Structure 1
Amino acid sequence: MKRIYPDKEFCIGCCLCEMACLAAHSKENDLILAYNKERAEGLVSRKRVIENCDVYVAISCRHCEDPECVPVCISGALTKDEVTGVTVYEADKCVGCWSCIMACPYGTIQRDKYNSKIIKCDLCAGRENGPACVEACPNRALKYEER
């Protein structure tokens, strides 16, 4: 299965991946509207750039082969698609218990503070060019590939 792999050696901390994620998940698919309007209404990037001692890395759900978040999900909102390998999230089933946040060893699942649910990467499901964050990265610090 193809996954997004970050490379901290090439990440410059520009956060363009976060902006691309916002635009890709916005109603209008427009960065300006997503950033200025929809963010205030609760739109959050599923990608986060973190920094430690001038080293940057962009993180998001790794769609683990054996995800630790799935068995702790009490409502069945998180499942593993056995065909695609994607860890699928169904927001309408989420009860906001945060068990998945605590179980994720990579710290990539976030709280949706506006809806008392979670936010996680969906690999830009249905997007023709694949994940928007990978396409937007100017330094090719994100790779979408099978390993």
Structure 2
Amino acid sequence: MKRVYVNEKWCLGCHLCEYNCAYANSGKDDMVKALKNVKINPRIQIEEKDGIAFAVQCRHCEEPLCVKGCITGALSVKDGVIEVDKDKCVGCFTCILSCPYGAIMPDDDGHAIQKCELCVKNANGQPACVAGCPNKAIVFEER
């Protein structure tokens, strides 16, 4: 299965992946209208430590602890992608505590969760973070 991988040596820490992610998941067809004067809440996060920038996003684990810990069944695996059913999520955040990568976070309202779903519902064949990376530090490939 294809997954998102980041080459930290090439990451500039520009955060464009975050903006592209937020736009792709906004449901709007204009990036300016979607993001202007808005605090973005992307499903990928750039962290920096000791001068190295790296992305934190869902790894779509083969045996996901978040899915096992979800008390309502809001998280499920479909074709190797861990998906969220927001109608079932009650906001207990057990999945946030279960994720060893810190890749699950509260959504904009704070009543449910959000995580990377590889843009399966809103992209043209590849995740928006990959398409928007100017330095090709983020790739979507099978390894």
How high is the TM-score relative to the length of structure 2?
0.92
Contact 2:8 2:53 (C-alpha < 8 Å) held by counterparts? yes
Change (3 A) 1:28 1:113: closer
Deviation at residue 141 of structure 1 after TM alignment: 1.0
Contact 1:80 1:87 in 2 (8 A): yes
Superposed displacement of residue 29, structure 1? 3.0
Q: Is the contact made by 2:104 and 2:113 (CA closer than 8 Å) also made in structure 1? A: yes
Question: CA contact under 8 A between 2:5 and 2:139: conserved in structure 1?
Answer: yes
- 2-side partners of 1:109 and 1:22: how far apart? 15
Letter in 2 for 1:92: D
SS in structure 1 at match of 2:36:
helix
How far has the Cα of 1:16 moved from its partner? 0.4
Aligned sequence identity (%):
44
Unmatched 5+ stretches in structure 2: none
Distance in structure 1 (CA, Å) of the matches to 2:49 and 2:82: 28
Deviation, structure 1 residue 30:
2.3
Structure 2 equivalent of residue 33 of structure 1: 33
Secondary structure of residue in 2 paired with 1:80? strand
Q: How does 1:1-147 map to 2 (within 5 A)?
A: 1-36=1-36, 39=38, 44-81=41-78, 84-126=79-121, 127-147=123-143
Amino acid at match of 1:136: G
Query: What residue identity is the alignment partner of 1:27?
Result: G
Q: How many residues align?
A: 142
Structure 1 runs, 4 residues or longer, greater than 4 Å off: none
What do you get for the CA RMSD once the two structures are aligned?
1.4
Shift of 1:10: 1.0
What letter is aligned with 1:129?
A: G
